[in-house]
Amino acid sequence: MQLKLARFLAALFAIAIVAFAAGARAQVVQFDTAHGIFYEAPFRTHMFVYSPSVTLTANPTDSFSVYGGWEADVVSGASVASKAGPAYAATHPTADVISTASVNDFRNVGKGGFTAKHDNTSFGAGGLYGTENDYHSISFNVMARTELFEHNTQLQMDYAHNFDQVCDLVQDPNALPVARLALPTSKGCFTSDPTRTTHDIAIDSFQGSWSQAITPVFQLQAVYTLQVIDGFQSDPYRSVVVGEGLKSQEYEPLNRMRHAVALRGNYFMRGFKGALRVGLRGYRDSWNIYSGEADVEVEKYFGSKFRAAASGRFYKQTGAIFWSDDYAGGNPPLGPKGQYFTGSRELSPFFSVMGGIKLTYATVAEDKKVLGFLSQLRLVAAANIVYFNYDEYTLGGQPVTGAFSYLLNLGLSAGF
């Protein structure tokens, strides 16, 4: 599978090179690069992630485009390896109930694809191959889009399938879930190390969207997303104190179905010379997590080249049906064999508030090339702060307060 995808990406790049050399008048080559920085420090993790990406798109004709690219995540920090609730921590004040595992990872992803257009209909396909120390991912995606009623209505369908593998510690196949041990380190993963094994994960993602121009200044979009996951979904490094002296690798169901519905509106305010964007999103899954999200963005145009935007988002979710902050304090895991238990904060009840700003500079060549050689140039800088409030999640019996994460994004797009 890896060899087939490598050949597929190589073929896409070959098409782009041939198209560039052909010198067709319709040809446009676009270079995009983005760089993101994520930092989080409220959970003793001091997690830092740097995410660069590069994409090259070639349009040999008006009806066909091909792209190839690379993206990565460079991760450093620590992860919460084990977790105990307030009851256990209160009776074991000197116990090492919270420990952190050092995290240093480098995720590499190669991607490629194409889009073909005929009249008002477009079709696209692509694939990617990603590797990291403890996770491998191969996926492909297809897209179909059509425009109706003089381009005022757009319908689009997307489908993607992932063939993923995650590393784990070799476990006793006859042991109960509470006897499973957490993976201590990614060393030895995807090698012949007899103490390491891998689990398959299959992910099917479907999305349908409808976009409508209601008036010349107001657009509406509705999106439905369905995702079905089959395979190992626990964090292999995370362990939970589930009883007196018993620390076990978290154990989550092998199947998960996720639904989401989103509605977005975009209104151009002529007098203000700007745009107002509002979005609502609802979510539920088979683990009994429900969530709601509302976001708003106001963007102001300063002339034809410069824009500034301010945005905000509120998000709230319930916890998974098997999630608990304190299994040792009288909340036993669910299931006939004591399976399904996790202390993950991502699966706990919480809400978050995000605020940020974005600056955009965009220009298109008219009488002469931009900087003497570009047909277009776009620069983007964005900064966001996210505040988290956890209703039940604690560390070592202490509530988590002042939880913040910080995001900085820089992007450049150039057309030739």
DSSP assignment string, 46-72: -EEEEEEEEEEEEEEETTEEEEEEEEE
For the stretch 188-246, pLDDT in tens is 999 999 999 999 999 999 999 999 999 999 999 999 999 999 999 999 998 888 877 78
Rounded distance, CA 395 to CA 82, Å? 10
As given in the structure block, the two tokens for residue 381 are 């800088």
Residues paired with residue 312 on neighbouring β-strands, in sequence order = 296, 355
Cα dihedral: 299, 301, 307, 311 (round 10): -10
Note down the domain range covering 408: 2-415
Rounded distance, CA 151 to CA 172, Å? 59
Compute the half-sphere exposure of residue 122: CA atoms within 13 Å on the CB side of its CA.
18
Rounded distance, CA 53 to CA 188, Å? 28
Who wins on pLDDT, 175 or 334? 175
Number of structural domains the chain divides into: 1
Q: Where is mean pLDDT largest: 184-188, 275-279, 326-330, 366-370?
A: 275-279
Q: What is the CATH number of the domain that holds 140?
A: 2.40.160
- The answer to whether the Cα torsion of 169, 172, 175, 179 is positive or negative is negative
Poorest-pLDDT segment among 31-35, 46-50, 385-389: 46-50
At residue 62, φ and ψ (nearest 5 deg) are: -65, -20
For the stretch 151-160, pLDDT in tens is 899 999 999 9
Give burial (CB, 10 Å; 0-12/13-18/19+) of 316: middle
What residues have CB less than 8 Å from 25, skipping those under 6 apart? none
pLDDT confidence bin for 402, thresholds 50/70/90: confident
pLDDT confidence bin for 16, thresholds 50/70/90: very low
**What is the pLDDT of the chain when averaged over all its residues?**
87
Let me know the angle formed at the C-alpha of 141 by 140 and 145, rounded to the nearest 5 degrees: 165
Rounded distance, CA 131 to CA 1, Å? 14
pLDDT for the residue numbered 95: 46
> pTM for the full model?
0.86
Cα dihedral: 405, 167, 2, 106 (round 10): 40
